[in-house]
Structure 1
Amino acid sequence: MKITAERDALLSAVERAARVIERRNTIPILGTMKVVAEKGRLVLTGTDLDMEVTTTCPAEVAQAGGAAMPLTAVEFLKKLPAGAKLEITTEKGRATLKAGRSRATLNTLDVDDFPELSAVAGEAAEFPLAASSLATMIERVSFAISTEETRYYLNGIYLHGAVCEDGPLLRAVATDGHRLALHNILAPEGAHPMPGVIVPRKAVAEIARLIKPLGDEAVTLRVSPTRLSLTAGVTTLATKLIDGTFPDYDRVIPKDGEHRALLDVAALDASVARVSTVSSERGRAVKFAFAEGLLTLSVTNPDTGEARDEVEAQWSAPPLEIGFNAGYVADILGALPGKAARLAMKDAGSPCLITAEGDNASLFVLMPMRV
């Protein structure tokens, strides 16, 4: 292989592919990136066996070929000056990188030994989606993904079809057992029906990074029961899905919360932040005391002291005291669209339903704590 490429374009492509590669590997080939030169471009692939990213970069190809290159090449590229032209030549297990007076020779592995993730096959739903819509969906629910490995089926976003009065929906749900986040969009053409799948946490984070700069540009999703792929421009991310059954989340969404409050999101967020400074790091419990026109937040910690704060609230029900984890409340308020939050509760021992005033696309459920 012998190619010449612009350093900036090549670095951008290399970084997209390299992000999924695990830096520590017992299998040497998994610590490399597949680089193939063909017809005026380089095709770069990185994988961790569960997820694979393939992207391309324009290049002048004097000789086609390929190699599995170490991640040292990425670091070398980063340290080259912007605008530099890079020449890469590979032969007999070695790759030579030259740019001006800079030169590096790196050991490579046989490109034929590089593992490939099998493509999305069989029955699959394929549909376009605005990158901004997908980004919003991830932003609204990803904070609630569980990190508890024993409940592996909660370690991702449950993506599936649903139906409402306005027609078919594409719905994303995440929960860790303490809080639940749900977001709906109208299903794009081709998305309904589709299999209910659990997209792993690592893939969710990588998809979010990949689509962040794309705005309203369309991406393509292809979903089968075992694989999901996303194509955005010249980059395709493919991932295995979590093989498990997501719980029946609808059962925990409150339907009978007759105690209702309307609060300013910014004021509530600031108040929670203030009183939680004296809460214990382990529990972070804050007491919410609702009364007519007022919410009083308080924390009592035997080790550090007490804190109390008040926020104006629209509340017309009998007084109610309930405890919540301050960190969980902050996470939900950070994902909540709009300036006003609606809280609906049945009693102090039941889950709280949180929605944004004027927004029907998202809802959040928060379990109470003893205080």
Structure 2
Amino acid sequence: MFTTSKSALGAALTFAREAVEKRNTIPILANVAIEASPEPGKLSARATDLDVEIAVSFAAEIGPDFRPFTVPAGTLFDIVRKLADKAEIAVAAAGTEADLSAITVQSERARFRLPVLPVSDFPDLKPGDMPFSIEIKPAALAAALGAVRFAVSTEETRFYLNGVFMHPCEAGVLLVATDGHRLAKRLLRTDAPTAGLSPVIVPRKTVDILGKILPKEGTITLSASDAKIRIAADGLELTSKLIDGTFPDYVRVIPTAHSQRAEIDSKALSEAIDRVTTISTERGRAVRFTFGDGRLLLTSNNPDAGEAEDEVPADGEAQIVIGFNGRYVHDAIGNLPEGRLAITLQDAASPAILRAVDSDPEDLVVMMPLRVA
């Protein structure tokens, strides 16, 4: 039916199998569909979990007897992975012409016979009409998604927080995520207007997959409707359902007036937090932040494990004692640009804003305080 190389088929399966749900109750969803590609001289590997679908084209010499089929994705991937480097792979039909019940995969002296299921039974996550479409740099999208992903909620009862909220603004697209304890916002600047984009919530799994499969260079096309989003690159297409819910009015959470400000080296603060949280437990991650006298004193107290303190130089007029979840602040710093970090505060009971000095005003993290003794 067709021949291809290990590198071509292996790369396609590596990306496509990201959409395969490892624990599913529908047997065919463990499969990958191998079918004709719109591009001449190429086939497509397509996989889905009914929420996300990934299709990746790969070069192949296609015989006149080619028929589409689905085959266990994990098994085929492992076979291809274990073949010799630069191996050529021949895939042939097994069974009758009317009933394609199995395929053979052969490379040099290695030969495998795998059962197949008909491609007609394989779900197709048709994107439908996509009224909004824009070309963007994949690295910019990956950076924006990565900068807010840490704040996505994992609490399934508030499903509308289980993804990244995207909505248009004058300069491009704003991406927001929150779990109720912290909020991250990042601006994705675009050259083309984005007013046609309806506000959407991209599921956490889709965000994670995009972080793995987005190309490093070139351009991608981002298309969206009220129900689905599609990312198309050269030879790769991801289609995903969107979360059907209403994202909260996050603007109300972001403080607009702060009376106190401090600037700190982000690397020094991250390392200091990492040290004082050494004695923390899963339930007790509170760290006391004491600003004043040109320094920030960090204190952690765990009745079962002891006490820890550290300090870093701090510029600014802030004179306040406030508590935060140490791990949350550490995560926030790791997802802001390196360099000087600006922390603006009002009082011990109000949320604080963290942002990199000289960064875009839209790029920030809001941190809710904790009560500390």
TM-score, L = length of structure 1? 0.95
What is the CA distance between 1:55 and its match in structure 2? 1.0
Give 2:71's aligned residue. Answer: 69
Query: What is the CA deviation profile of residues 237-285 of structure 1, one whole-angstrom value per residue up to 9, with x for unaligned ones?
Result: 0000000000000001011111110000011001101111112321200
Alignment correspondent of 2:194: 191
**1:60 equivalent in structure 2:** 61
Q: Is the 8 A contact 2:172 2:193 kept in 1?
A: no
Aligned to 2:3: 4
Hey, what does 2:32 align to over in structure 1? 33
Amino acid at match of 1:184: L
Matches within 5 A, 1:122-271: 124-163=131-170, 168-211=171-214, 213-215=215-217, 217-271=218-272
Distance in 1, matches of 2:159 and 2:290, equals 36
From 124, 127, 147, the counterpart of 1:119:
127
Question: Which amino acid in the other structure matches residue 33 of structure 2?
Answer: K
> 1:107 Cα shift?
0.5
Match of 2:110 among 96, 102, 105: 102
Q: How big is the alpha-carbon RMSD for the aligned residues of Structure 1 and Structure 2?
A: 1.2
Structure 1 contact 120–229 (Cα < 8 Å) conserved: no
- Structure 2 length normalisation: TM-score? 0.95
SS of residue matched to 1:144:
coil
SS of 2:113's equivalent? strand
Instruction: Please give the alpha-carbon distance, in whole angstroms, between the structure 1 residues aligned to 2:81 and 2:371.
Output: 51
| Structure 1: runs of 5 or more not aligned | none
Extract unaligned runs of 5+ from structure 2: 95-99
The sequence identity of aligned pairs, in percent, is 39
Equivalent-residue separation in structure 2 for 1:190 and 1:214 (angstroms): 23
Residue 356 of structure 2 aligns with an amino acid whose one-letter code is A
Aligned to 2:12: 13
Q: Measure, in 2, the Cα distance between the counterparts of 1:6 and 1:294.
A: 60
> Paired residue for 1:341?
341
Q: Note the C-alpha offset of 1:190.
A: 4.8
Is contact 1:145–1:175 with CA below 8 Å preserved after alignment?
yes
Kindly report structure 1 stretches of 4+ aligned residues shifted beyond 3 Å.
none
Q: CA deviation at 1:37?
A: 4.1
The secondary structure found in structure 2 opposite 1:214 is coil
